[in-house]
């Protein structure tokens, strides 16, 4: 009697190949800064310094040549400040744009960081630096937008690097102090930064840098209030 031959077991279906989320990785690495092998977070923070400069330079560069640009923004005295009480100008456009830009970067950062984390199968991958970009941006927004109410608004005799509000121009001192403070708090991770890292997905990657950004913003505001910056 012939032994029965068993039919070969069906092959297990091949695991689906995960499609590389190229755009999400591009955003999460801040355009590739995250791939820099040495201190990628520092380079991400440097990218975060550039974003607050864009609301001044990009629209104006597209609308008018330099001479017309500065003739329209600077008065005869050589300085320009925002007068919120002027008729028809109740809202500071620079502050609105800076807030919208900060929220947009934070939102797309949560999405892209979560996608990158799943693709690389690692918790808070080092190559993800959009969190440093967002935290650094938050530092400059809060640290410079909150007014120092007992000091007069400064006049700017030189072309500003950028404008957080119509009365708060970014100079190199604000950028340097904000950058140093954010890097210190981002590395230190004071409460509740480390606790925020336990949040799921992109939220955990981004939230600890937001906490560091708020601490750094307080330090930048104190520097504006009590030092000659």
The residue that leads in pLDDT, 54 or 9, is 54
CB 215 within 8 A of CB 190: yes
Inter-helix orientation angle 93-120/201-226, to 10°: 140
- Work out the widest C-alpha separation in the chain, in whole angstroms: 111
Average pLDDT, the chain: 84
What pLDDT is recorded for position 14?
A: 54
Average pLDDT score over residue span 11-31: 80
Q: Is residue 188 part of a domain?
A: yes
Say whether pLDDT at 100 is over 90: yes
Q: Is residue 7 part of a domain?
A: no
What pLDDT is recorded for position 74?
A: 53
Say whether pLDDT at 71 is over 80: no
Structure tokens at 71: 């003739």
The residue that leads in pLDDT, 84 or 228, is 228
Q: Is residue 116 part of a domain?
A: yes
Q: Is residue 50 part of a domain?
A: yes
Range with lowest mean pLDDT among 83-87, 112-116, 221-225: 83-87
Among left, alpha and beta (phi > 0; psi -120 to 50; other), residue 25 is alpha
Judged by DSSP in three states, 59 sits in helix
Instruction: Give the separation between CA 28 and CA 22, rounded to whole angstroms.
Output: 10
Say whether pLDDT at 140 is over 60: yes
Say whether pLDDT at 15 is over 70: no
Range with lowest mean pLDDT among 1-5, 103-107, 139-143: 1-5
Query: Would you give the distance in Å from CA 97 to the centre of its chain?
Result: 13
Average pLDDT score over residue span 26-43: 94
What pLDDT is recorded for position 65?
A: 58
Q: Is residue 195 part of a domain?
A: yes
Say whether pLDDT at 132 is over 80: yes
Average pLDDT score over residue span 92-117: 95
The separation between the first and the last C-alpha atoms of the chain, rounded to the nearest angstrom, is 99
What pLDDT is recorded for position 167?
A: 83
Q: Is residue 109 part of a domain?
A: yes
Q: How many domains does the chain have?
A: 1
Q: Is residue 5 part of a domain?
A: no
Average pLDDT score over residue span 35-60: 91
Sequence-distant (6+) residues with CB within 8 A of 162 are: 52, 53, 54, 55, 56, 57, 169, 170
Instruction: Give the separation between CA 121 and CA 217, rounded to whole angstroms.
Output: 33
Tell me the Cα Rg of the chain.
24
Instruction: Provide the residue range defining the domain that includes 190.
Output: 22-78+91-226
Q: Is residue 53 part of a domain?
A: yes
Say whether pLDDT at 75 is over 80: no
Tens-digit pLDDT profile for residues 173-206: 999 999 999 999 999 999 999 999 999 999 999 9
Q: Are strands 168-170 and 162-165 parallel, antiparallel or unpaired?
A: antiparallel
Range with lowest mean pLDDT among 102-106, 120-124, 139-143, 211-215: 120-124
Average pLDDT score over residue span 159-185: 92
């Amino acid at each position: 009697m012939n032994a029965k031959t068993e039919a070969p077991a069906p092959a297990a279906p091949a695991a689906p190949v995960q499609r590389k989320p190229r755009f999400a990785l591009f955003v999460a690495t801040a355009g590739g800064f995250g791939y820099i092998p040495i201190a990628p977070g520092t380079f991400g923070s440097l990218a975060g310094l550039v974003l607050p400069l864009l609301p001044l330079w990009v629209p104006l560069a597209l609308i008018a040549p330099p001479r017309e640009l500065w003739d329209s923004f600077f008065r005869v005295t050589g300085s320009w400040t925002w007068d919120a009480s002027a008729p028809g100008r109740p809202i500071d456009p620079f502050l609105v744009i800076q807030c919208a830009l900060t929220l947009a970067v934070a939102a797309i950062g949560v999405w892209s960081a979560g996608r990158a984390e799943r693709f690389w199968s690692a918790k808070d991958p080092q190559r993800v630096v959009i969190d440093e970009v967002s935290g650094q941006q938050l530092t400059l927004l809060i640290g410079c937008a909150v007014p120092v109410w007992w000091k007069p608004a400064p006049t700017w005799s030189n072309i500003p690097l950028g404008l957080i509000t119509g009365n708060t121009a970014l100079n190199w001192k604000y950028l340097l102090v904000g950058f140093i403070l954010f890097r210190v708090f981002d590395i230190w991770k004071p409460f509740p930064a480390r606790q925020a890292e336990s949040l799921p997905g992109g939220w955990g990657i981004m939230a600890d840098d937001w906490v560091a950004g708020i601490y750094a913003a307080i330090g930048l505001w104190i520097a504006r209030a009590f030092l000659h910056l």
